[in-house]
């Protein structure tokens, strides 16, 4: 075992390279923004960055699990939309207490995810198409519930949305931001420190080998999509807090933002490799682009799309390059080993 130790100590850094690169890009971007706009580097901007992107961050954590396991979940944006409509209707029209409604919708979203996971697993179907059907179903169901935007006026909502820890400089550490940070932390623990997390990585590496290793592939697959569903539901709750309303057309295309955040965060779409923290930074980078554009004022929103596309390309090209380098004969590694 001793000969392996030098490379084992040097490899974690190589493994963390994509996440470090993403973090470096975020910090560099933040620095650049601070130089352009003197007021940028403040607690208030940082806190707003967290609050405005909380729903995306939460759903992107679930997407990270799905993608590391080698799948994809296109339904999350629709599930967020359904959640906001369901909450608005149940609280405002059916008189359900908000907390009960939260529990019910989280259960529903989890069941929905589990059903998709089971369909993928037991019918041996591609996740792309199954979750595409799920996307149509959830969006269609929210249309059926209501096509108009319903305001949520419950006192509880106002209190929750107004509740925040006040920080110096007029910054507010809001409930959505707290929920997102908690989800990111919980996601990191679940992915990196538990047996379930190890199984997720194994599934993305090689399904057949994972099954032969004795991992319950079916249970893990269903659980992964259940997790993604629950987090999409939670994200919907946060979204409805943020907008104080429910609308069937809300969060259209969020699944793509989430996938982009996961990819920018250094996770391989082919599965088996990735970090929750990278995804978190990926979300922040997308938020940073939006914030830059709103600070600038003269730039149009379409630059955000082009910039996100360029960033996607840069990160994927970088990943591709590192993967190719890693596949080469380990000349550098041999030379670097200690005597």
Binding site for another protein (CB under 8 A): 72, 119, 122-126, 128-130, 132-137, 139-141, 143-144, 147, 256, 259-260, 263, 269-270, 300, 302-306, 308-310, 312-313, 316-317, 320
The distance of closest approach from Cβ of residue 118 to another protein in the complex, given in angstroms and rounded to an integer, is 12
The distance of closest approach from Cβ of residue 103 to another protein in the complex, given in angstroms and rounded to an integer, is 25
Residue with smaller CB distance to another protein, 128 or 156: 128
The distance of closest approach from Cβ of residue 195 to another protein in the complex, given in angstroms and rounded to an integer, is 28
The distance of closest approach from Cβ of residue 282 to another protein in the complex, given in angstroms and rounded to an integer, is 13
Provide the 3-class DSSP secondary structure of residue 171.
strand
CA angle 15, 310, 35 (to 5 degrees): 90
Residue with smaller CB distance to another protein, 75 or 220: 75
What's the distance, CA 209 to chain centroid?
Answer: 27
d(CA 25, CA 48): 19
Q: In b/e form, how buried is each residue of 102-129, taking b as 16+ CB within 10 angstroms? A: beebbebbbebbbbbbbbbbeeeeebee
d(CA 338, CA 6): 7
Provide the 3-class DSSP secondary structure of residue 164.
strand
Residue with tokens 């380990």: 330
Residue with smaller CB distance to another protein, 27 or 125: 125
Residue with smaller CB distance to another protein, 74 or 224: 74
Residue with smaller CB distance to another protein, 240 or 308: 308
The distance of closest approach from Cβ of residue 148 to another protein in the complex, given in angstroms and rounded to an integer, is 11
The distance of closest approach from Cβ of residue 119 to another protein in the complex, given in angstroms and rounded to an integer, is 8
The answer to whether residues 150 and 92 touch, using CB atoms and an 8 Å cutoff, is yes
The distance of closest approach from Cβ of residue 98 to another protein in the complex, given in angstroms and rounded to an integer, is 26
Provide the 3-class DSSP secondary structure of residue 8.
helix
Strand residue runs (E) in 183-254: 245-246
Residue with smaller CB distance to another protein, 98 or 127: 127
Backbone angles phi, psi at 164, to 5 degrees: -165, 155
d(CA 172, CA 48): 8
Output the DSSP codes for 268-331.
-TTSS---HHHHHHHHHHHHHHHHHHHHHSSS-THHHHHHHHHHHHHHHHHHHHHHHHHHS--H
The distance of closest approach from Cβ of residue 313 to another protein in the complex, given in angstroms and rounded to an integer, is 5
Residue with smaller CB distance to another protein, 127 or 197: 127
Tokens of 302: 């379409």
Residue with smaller CB distance to another protein, 140 or 158: 140
Contacts of 272 (CB under 8 A, 6+ apart): 68, 70, 201, 204, 205, 206
Residue with smaller CB distance to another protein, 103 or 310: 310
**Measured between alpha carbons, how far is residue 13 from residues 22, 91, 338 in Å?**
14, 49, 16
The strand pair at 164-167 and 171-174 is best described as: antiparallel
The distance of closest approach from Cβ of residue 38 to another protein in the complex, given in angstroms and rounded to an integer, is 28
């Amino acid at each position: 075992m001793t000969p392996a130790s030098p490379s084992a100590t040097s490899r974690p850094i190589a493994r963390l390279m994509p996440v470090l690169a993403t973090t470096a890009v975020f910090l560099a971007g933040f620095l650049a923004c601070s130089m352009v706009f003197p007021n940028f580097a403040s607690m208030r901007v940082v806190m707003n960055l967290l609050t405005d992107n909380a729903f995306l961050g939460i759903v992107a954590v679930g997407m990270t699990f799905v993608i590391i396991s080698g799948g994809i979940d296109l339904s999350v944006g629709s599930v967020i939309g359904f959640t906001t409509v369901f909450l608005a209707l149940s609280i405002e029209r059916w008189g359900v207490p908000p907390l009960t409604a939260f529990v019910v919708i989280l259960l529903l979203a989890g069941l929905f995810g589990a059903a998709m996971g089971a369909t993928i697993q037991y019918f041996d179907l591609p996740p792309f198409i199954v979750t595409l059907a799920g996307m149509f179903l959830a969006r269609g169901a929210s249309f059926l519930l209501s096509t108009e935007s319903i305001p949520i006026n419950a006192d509880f909502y106002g209190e929750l949305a107004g509740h925040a820890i006040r920080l110096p400089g007029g910054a507010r550490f809001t409930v959505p931001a707290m929920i997102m940070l908690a989800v990111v932390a919980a996601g990191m623990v679940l992915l990196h420190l538990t047996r379930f997390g190890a199984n997720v990585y194994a599934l993305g590496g090689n399904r057949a080998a994972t099954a032969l290793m004795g991992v319950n592939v079916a249970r893990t697959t269903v659980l992964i999509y259940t997790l993604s569903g629950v987090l999409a539901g939670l994200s919907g709750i946060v979204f409805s807090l943020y907008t104080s309303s429910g609308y069937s057309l809300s969060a259209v295309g969020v699944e793509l933002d989430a996938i982009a955040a996961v990819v920018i965060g250094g996770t391989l779409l082919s599965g088996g490799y990735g970090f929750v923290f990278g995804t978190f930074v990926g979300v922040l980078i997308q938020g940073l682009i939006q914030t830059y554009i709103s600070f600038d004022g003269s730039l149009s929103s379409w630059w955000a799309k082009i910039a996100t596309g360029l960033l996607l390309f840069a990160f994927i090209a970088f990943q591709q390059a590192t993967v190719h380098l890693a596949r080469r004969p380990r000349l550098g590694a041999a030379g670097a080993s200690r005597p």
